[in-house]
């Protein structure tokens, strides 16, 4: 799990506009920040799964995959909000992590 200082308070970015990137199984919104590190937040609705256990499992899996992008050496630092779509519940864990890492790599290197 990510340390608390690397987690994005989701209420702070709900009504902001930022860059949007769409993937097959999630939507990523990117906002610039003034901090020395990237912050990550995850939103999972009940449409993905009615069970809180599965939603929490997906959230932990996504945040764990995002852990290696926290202290990137880029000069630009971002707040990144990942919104999970219902298509992700049918995917395997390795596929989810691979797709997320590829997307974050593209976003942070742009």
Structural domain count of the chain: 1
Which residues, listed in sequence order, are joined to residue 20 by a DSSP beta bridge?
A: 29
Q: Can you give the pLDDT of all 110 residues of the chain as single tens digits?
A: 788 888 998 888 888 888 999 988 889 999 988 888 889 999 999 999 999 999 999 999 999 988 888 876 667 788 899 999 998 888 888 998 999 999 988 888 85
pTM above 0.75, yes or no: yes
The percent of the chain in helix, strand and coil, each rounded to the nearest 5, is 40, 20, 35
For residue 80, what is the domain's CATH number? 3.30.230.10
Q: What is the rounded CA–CA span in Å between residue 83 and residue 48?
A: 11
CA dist., res. 90 & res. 108, Å (int): 27
Q: Which domain holds residue 8?
A: 4-109
Report H helices in 43-92.
Answer: 52-66
């Amino acid at each position: 799990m990510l340390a608390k200082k690397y987690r994005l308070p989701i209420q702070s970015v709900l009504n902001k506009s930022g860059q949007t990137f769409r993937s097959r199984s999630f939507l990523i919104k990117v906002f610039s920040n003034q901090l020395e590190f990237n912050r990550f937040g995850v939103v999972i609705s009940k449409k993905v799964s009615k069970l809180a256990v599965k939603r929490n499992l997906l959230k932990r899996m996504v945040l764990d995959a995002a852990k290696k992008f926290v202290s990137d050496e880029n000069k630009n630092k971002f707040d990144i909000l990942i919104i999970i779509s219902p298509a992700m519940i049918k995917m395997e864990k390795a596929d989810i992590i691979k797709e997320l890492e590829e997307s974050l790599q593209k976003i942070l290197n742009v």
